[in-house]
């Protein structure tokens, strides 16, 4: 068994969750924040049998889009923690999803 940890843009999270549950995957959604942009995203925890990992990843990939996020010139972001040193606005590419796959030693439900 594997645990998929998938970080998905909030704008894609509902459609990703729907597509996964439609295919009988069980998912947990966590409300998370990126450390760089410090904006909300969604982290999915998905426990899957080994032979279903690629199928789950293909669904996440299908519904997760790449977007451009403009970082303003203030210092309130991870890239520039000093408000007295403003930087020029810049565009950052975000996503699609960032996906980790981890081995699971055991899974129990009590």
Question: Which residues sit at the interface with ligand 2BA, rule CB under 6 A?
Answer: 7, 34-37, 41, 92-95, 98
Specify the residue, 88 or 110, whose C-beta has the smaller distance to ligand 2BA: 88
R_g of the chain computed on alpha carbons: 17
Specify the residue, 26 or 33, whose C-beta has the smaller distance to ligand 2BA: 33
* C-alpha distances out from residue 61 to 37, 69, 104, Å: 21, 19, 22
Specify the residue, 91 or 108, whose C-beta has the smaller distance to ligand 2BA: 91
Specify the residue, 19 or 80, whose C-beta has the smaller distance to ligand 2BA: 80
CA neighbours within 13 Å on the CB side: how many for 42? 18
Q: How far is the CB of 95 from ligand 2BA (least distance, A)?
A: 5
* Tokens 């982290």, located at residue: 43
Sign of CA dihedral 35, 36, 39, 41: negative
Q: How far is the CB of 73 from ligand 2BA (least distance, A)?
A: 16
């Amino acid at each position: 068994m594997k645990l998929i940890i998938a970080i998905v843009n909030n704008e894609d999270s509902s459609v990703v969750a729907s597509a996964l549950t439609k295919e009988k995957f069980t998912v947990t959604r966590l409300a998370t924040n990126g450390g760089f942009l410090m904006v909300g995203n969604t982290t999915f925890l998905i426990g899957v049998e080994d032979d279903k990992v690629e199928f789950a990843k293909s669904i996440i990939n299908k519904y997760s889009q790449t977007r451009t996020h403009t970082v303003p010139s203030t210092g309130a972001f991870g890239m520039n923690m000093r408000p007295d040193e403003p930087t020029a606005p810049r565009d950052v590419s975000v996503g699609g999803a960032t996906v980790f796959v981890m081995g699971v030693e055991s899974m129990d439900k009590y």
